């Protein structure tokens, strides 16, 4: 058990009823970490990539982990633009906004090497998971392949496929487990 806090500034800025004031958020997160201890607090960006300096600040605030949730997956700005016609024109400009997952993952690992980092945002298969694990992700998150498969009542098959892809990628890289997938640049 623990708490996951989602950071969604761009989504809030586009929502007609959004709350785009984020001053004091870091202090509130730090206070939440203290209040919930020993339960872990994870902080997740929602699809535009967590900046390295933000990962470092969150590590200093005592969070247990971060999810960088980079660009390439669900774009909540575009979803808000579809939800409200007046927001559509504003949201359209942010269609390719954000830091890709791999860049966000690398930045977080560089500034906070002891902080567990979850890689999500645009991961589509087991090979993407293997690559992120090799770059130092503690875990990975995928949604699209399972959501698409679930519409055809095939989520179990999709999960089996992703796991098989991950097993093969791990084996092809010469490792016994996905956790052993570490590129030399990360080890250094």
**Three-state DSSP class for residue 154:** coil
Token pair 């995928």 in the structure block, residue: 142
pLDDT in tens, 92-132: 999 999 999 999 999 999 999 999 999 999 999 999 999 99
Query: Residue 84 — pLDDT band, cuts 50, 70, 90?
Result: confident
| 69 and 102 Cβ atoms separated by less than 8 Å | no
pLDDT in tens, 50-83: 999 999 999 999 999 999 999 999 999 999 999 9
d(Cα 19, Cα 27) in Å, to the nearest integer? 17
């Amino acid at each position: 058990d623990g708490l996951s806090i989602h950071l969604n500034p761009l989504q809030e800025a586009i929502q007609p009823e959004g709350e785009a004031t984020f001053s004091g958020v870091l202090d509130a997160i730090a206070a939440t970490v203290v209040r919930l201890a020993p339960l872990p607090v994870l902080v997740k960006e929602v699809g535009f990539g967590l900046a390295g300096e933000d990962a470092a600040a969150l590590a200093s605030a005592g969070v247990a982990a971060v999810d960088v949730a980079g660009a390439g997956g669900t774009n909540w700005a575009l979803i808000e633009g579809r939800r409200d016609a007046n927001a559509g024109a504003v949201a359209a400009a942010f269609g390719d906004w954000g830091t890709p997952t791999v860049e966000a993952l690398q930045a977080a690992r560089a500034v906070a090497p002891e902080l567990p980092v979850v890689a999500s945002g645009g991961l589509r298969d087991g090979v993407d998971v293997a690559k992120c694990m090799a770059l130092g992700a503690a875990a990975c998150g995928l949604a699209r392949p399972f959501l698409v498969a679930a519409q055809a009542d095939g989520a179990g098959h999709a999960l089996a496929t992703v796991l098989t892809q991950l097993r093969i990628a791990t084996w092809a890289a010469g490792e016994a487990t996905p956790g052993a997938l570490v590129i030399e640049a990360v080890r250094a």
